[in-house]
Amino acid sequence: MSTTVAQLAEINAALATDPVPTRRVTVPALESLLYQPLPVLDHGFLRVIDYMGGDEAVVQAARVSYGRGTRRVSEDAGLIRYLMRHRHSTPFEMCEIKFHVKLPIFVARQWIRHRTANVNEYSARYSVLDREFYLPKAEQLCAQATDNRQGRDATLAPAEAAWVLDLLRRDAETAYTHYEEMLNRREDGSDIDPQRAGLARELARINLSLNYYTQWYWKIDLHNLLHFLSLRADPHAQYEIRAYADVMLDVVARWVPLVFEAFRDYRLGGAHLSAMGLTVIRRLLAGEAVTQETSGLGGREWRELMAVLGRE
């Protein structure tokens, strides 16, 4: 994980600040994580900058109570599970969280497709990007899957993996060297050639590859965060964005433990069935010998249903 000297100073100053008295609901387990960089990938990190609400806010919004506090934890847990089970999303929107994320540009391009958050990204028109780029570990270098156009298959042989890593490293280093030359700027901020003006930052940046790191602040409500995690923490998601989602799962578990338990049960560990799929299950429970040909399901949907039922 890489944080700049300025960022470290900012983090240390924030951590050294005495707590400010507040009437707002706070979550001690999340307070202990505030501002601290949680490492992801080789140079990335994720930080919790701020949050609003907790399990109590979800319960309060659902009951529309005013100053009544919360009831017993078991009652609150039951209500939250009911909301999750029946997809009553509005109470979860009452909670918000803001992250500072450092991530490779290609991961950011996937991430930004979730258009339900507020985002402010580091500007390479205004500032110069650091010489930091993502290199996968050898075990993450895999061949293209033959049955999934956007997935990975078997890990490359060691010799081929080493060749790929060397190629990625050399290309990224060369791109940054040319980036500096176009800017006419060294890493220490000095000019390479005092006689040259250098290319504008907004143009020089187009030379950098997608594995270079960017940063942004990302603020989202709990409902949409859970939707993001249901997709990006899934085993089928690309490993690099899943690495960030896995860290976020731990943050959510600390922030809203009752919500997280329900989310893990109904979303991460649950399954969605179509009407036809449910009919197949009823027929199987009735003792009928159902095959894919007699089920009415397509081949892929049949295989997915059998996998859910543990009858692959």
pLDDT at 102: 97
- pLDDT mean across residues, the chain: 91
> Which residue did the predictor score with more confidence, 25 or 229?
229
> Is 169 part of a structural domain of the chain?
no
Residues 44 and 103 in one domain: yes
> Is 148 part of a structural domain of the chain?
no
What does the pLDDT average to over 4-19? Answer: 77
What does the pLDDT average to over 238-265? Answer: 97
Q: pLDDT band for position 264 (50/70/90)?
A: very high
Range of the domain at 280: 275-308
> Is 25 part of a structural domain of the chain?
yes
Q: pLDDT band for position 71 (50/70/90)?
A: low
Least confident segment among 6-15, 56-65, 173-182, 293-302: 6-15
Tokens of 134: 């993502």
- Express as a percent the part of the chain with pLDDT over 70: 97
pLDDT at 302: 94
pLDDT at 29: 95
> Is 186 part of a structural domain of the chain?
no
pLDDT single digits (tens) 269-301: 998 899 999 999 999 999 999 999 999 999 999
Residues 128 and 111 in one domain: yes
Residue 35 CA: distances (Å) to CA of 21, 32, 244, 287 = 18, 9, 16, 57
Q: pLDDT band for position 5 (50/70/90)?
A: confident
Residues 228 and 293 in one domain: no
pLDDT single digits (tens) 143-159: 888 877 777 878 999 99
Count of the separate structural domains present in the chain: 2
Rounded Cα distance between 268 and 63, Å, is 26
pLDDT for 16 beyond 70: yes
Rounded Cα distance between 60 and 94, Å, is 9
Residues 86 and 101 in one domain: yes
pLDDT for 186 beyond 60: yes
> Is 162 part of a structural domain of the chain?
no
Residues 299 and 224 in one domain: no
Residues 20 and 98 in one domain: yes
pLDDT at 25: 82
pLDDT at 162: 95
Domain of 19, CATH number, reads 3.30.1360.170
Tokens of 161: 């993996």
pLDDT for 229 beyond 90: yes
- Express as a percent the part of the chain with pLDDT over 90: 76
Catalytic center residues: 232
Q: pLDDT band for position 212 (50/70/90)?
A: very high
pLDDT for 2 beyond 80: no
pLDDT single digits (tens) 90-145: 999 999 999 999 999 999 999 999 999 999 999 998 999 999 999 999 999 998 88
pLDDT at 94: 95
> Is 115 part of a structural domain of the chain?
yes
> Is 224 part of a structural domain of the chain?
yes
pLDDT for 69 beyond 60: no
Residues 18 and 62 in one domain: yes
